[in-house]
Amino acid sequence: MDNLSNTDENYDLGYQPSPCSTEQNDQSTTETPGCSTVSGSSFLYCRTYSGTSAFSEPVDDHNCCSEASPSHWPARKSGAHKLAVLTRQSKSNVDEKLDALESLDLELEMMKERFAKLLLGEDMSGSGKGVCTAVTISNAITNLYATIFGQNLRLEPLNPEKKALWKREMDCLLSVCDYIVEFVPTKSQNLRNGIAVEIMESRPRSDIYINLPALRKLDAMLIEILDSFQDREFWYAEQGCMSSNSTRTGSFRRVVQRNNEKWWVPVPCIPPNGLSEKARKHLRHKRECATQIHKAAMSINGSVLSEMEMPDSYMASLPKSGKASIGDAIYRFMYSAEKFSPEYLLDCLNIASEHEALELADRVEASMYTWRRKACMPHSKSSWSMMKDLMSDVDRSDKNHILAERAESLLFALKQRYPELSQTSLDTCKIQYNRDMGQAILESYSRVLEGLAFNIVAWIDDVFFVDNATRNTD
């Protein structure tokens, strides 16, 4: 009767007992193995799950009992847990969007700064006293190189952020060359009246068309050389610091003594037994590649500088006599020698420092243009643009012409012997007074690549020096 009253009570409440619950009431003394006792809360969940609508399929007792069993109930996630997951996901998405927007804002600000400096000519007062656009973009490339590679004094891959910054900024600065064009004939076409006309097409100016792709290739090769030193057998220690690794060999002290004048350069350290043959072969190969890149960049830089207009201020500052510029001893050797050998002359000079070499280069270059101007004097035209046109008409046996040619060969030999030589006074003056945007970009781009290639060769030589010192010590 109690069971019957409970059932009636459930009907009054609007519930229909499942076969499983009825079976449990009938078998109160013995628990059915396939169907466990259900509490009030689980009973409600079973009702909700089975769905006792009038349109539902009939369910047999066995299935109902197995579905009513807690071991077969599907796992439920609470609403609070779902809300927390959604909140975390939405917060993560918002953070990513904010970071992306912040990065875009920073890049936009940098672009605004570059654009403003380009227009103002680096004159922040806005009074129009800044340098010309060509000098501004040349300085921008030079400063960018110093920012990216100024602290990178090791044979190691460039930081990914710096590598991306270098590529992005250089692409922006070099994009100016896309709009420096010239018209060239591509094909001819005959009109109806029989007249043949040439179809003109714009393309990058010839010097940019030839040199810029080559410089981009050299740039990529230098970055590739640095990336090849990801896994290396040597490491670096700061100058003057004896790390635990660097004390394993006596070669560290020798390097400190050798690079004493360059205290800021990190010191390469080698394992006690020296580098393996594989590592030495890799270093030799990369050194040869960097040397060839250095020569190519230096050649492009020299050709661009030679095409720049000679500033009138430099021509006005030339001495009246080439002999007074280079000195009596060098003049006598250049004038009296039947077969001039610039290499032999440099051996006799015993140049002791880079400063002496640069000073000699300035004096030789000044004397060279002094003699060239004298060779063109009979034509009474003193401007450099006129002098270039008249050089082909000068008598080759003229004394001033011979001395100018010998001075040019001496200057070339001097730059070949001292590749790390800084720019001469004439080169600096040309860059300062240059107004051609294309030449400014090619000159500055080739100059920074030339410097990077030279540094890589020097860093590899430092590693070889330490390795040889380690082997000799052993």
What sign has the CA pseudo-torsion 256, 261, 262, 263? positive
What sign has the CA pseudo-torsion 261, 266, 272, 278? negative
**Residue 304, pLDDT score:** 96
Q: Is 80 helix (H, G, I), strand (E, B) or coil?
A: helix
Minimum mean pLDDT range among 165-179, 214-228, 229-243, 429-443: 229-243
Dump pLDDT digits (tens) for 438-474: 999 999 999 999 999 999 999 999 999 988 888 887 6
Mean pLDDT (whole number) for 156-179: 92
How many CA within 13 A on the CB side of residue 118? Answer: 15
pLDDT over 50 (residue 246): no
Question: How distant is the alpha carbon of residue 246 from its chain centre?
Answer: 30
Higher pLDDT, 270 or 112: 270
Mean pLDDT (whole number) for 36-62: 38
How many CA within 13 A on the CB side of residue 329? Answer: 5
User: How sure is the predictor about 198, in pLDDT bands with cuts at 50, 70 and 90?
Assistant: confident
199: part of which helix (H) or strand (E)?
A: strand 196-204
Mean pLDDT (whole number) for 210-232: 95
Higher pLDDT, 214 or 318: 214
Classify burial at 169, counting beta carbons within 10 Å of its beta carbon; exposed 0-12, middle 13-18, buried 19 or more.
buried
Q: Is 184 helix (H, G, I), strand (E, B) or coil?
A: strand
Higher pLDDT, 268 or 19: 268
How many CA within 13 A on the CB side of residue 168? Answer: 12
What sign has the CA pseudo-torsion 236, 242, 245, 249? positive
Mean pLDDT (whole number) for 229-241: 78
pLDDT over 80 (residue 10): no
User: How sure is the predictor about 81, in pLDDT bands with cuts at 50, 70 and 90?
Assistant: low
Structure tokens at 84: 């927390």
Bridge partners, 202 (sequence order):
183
pLDDT over 50 (residue 380): no
Helices (H), 190-317: 206-227, 251-258, 277-307, 312-317
Structure tokens at 121: 């000519």
pLDDT over 70 (residue 148): yes
Q: Which residues contact 279 (CB under 8 A, 6 or more apart)?
A: 232, 233, 234
In whole angstroms, give the CA distance from residue 474 to residue 459. 23
Classify burial at 338, counting beta carbons within 10 Å of its beta carbon; exposed 0-12, middle 13-18, buried 19 or more.
exposed
pLDDT over 80 (residue 244): no
User: How sure is the predictor about 425, in pLDDT bands with cuts at 50, 70 and 90?
Assistant: very high
Dump pLDDT digits (tens) for 264-295: 778 888 888 889 999 999 999 999 999 999 99
Q: In 3D, which of 461, 459, 451, 465 has the Cα closest to residue 421?
A: 451
Whole-model pTM: value is: 0.70
Dump pLDDT digits (tens) for 90-102: 667 777 777 777 7
Minimum mean pLDDT range among 92-101, 366-375, 392-401: 392-401
Residues 446, 294 contacting (CB under 8 angstroms): no
Place of tokens 């050389």: 225
User: How sure is the predictor about 426, in pLDDT bands with cuts at 50, 70 and 90?
Assistant: very high
Treating both helix axes as pointing N-terminal to C-terminal, what angle do 342-349 and 328-336 enclose, rounded to 10 degrees? 150
User: How sure is the predictor about 416, in pLDDT bands with cuts at 50, 70 and 90?
Assistant: confident
Mean pLDDT (whole number) for 393-421: 82
- Report the DSSP pairing between strands 196-204 and 235-237: unpaired
In whole angstroms, give the CA distance from residue 155 to residue 161. 17
pLDDT over 90 (residue 301): yes
Whole-number mean pLDDT of the chain? Answer: 76
Question: How distant is the alpha carbon of residue 155 from its chain centre?
Answer: 15
**Residue 307, pLDDT score:** 93
Structure tokens at 215: 């410089």
Structure tokens at 319: 């001495």
**Residue 243, pLDDT score:** 40
Phi, psi of 383 (to 5 degrees): -70, 150
**Residue 361, pLDDT score:** 93
Q: Which residues contact 419 (CB under 8 A, 6 or more apart)?
A: 294, 298, 454
Residues 427, 298 contacting (CB under 8 angstroms): no
Mean pLDDT (whole number) for 237-258: 42
**Residue 366, pLDDT score:** 93
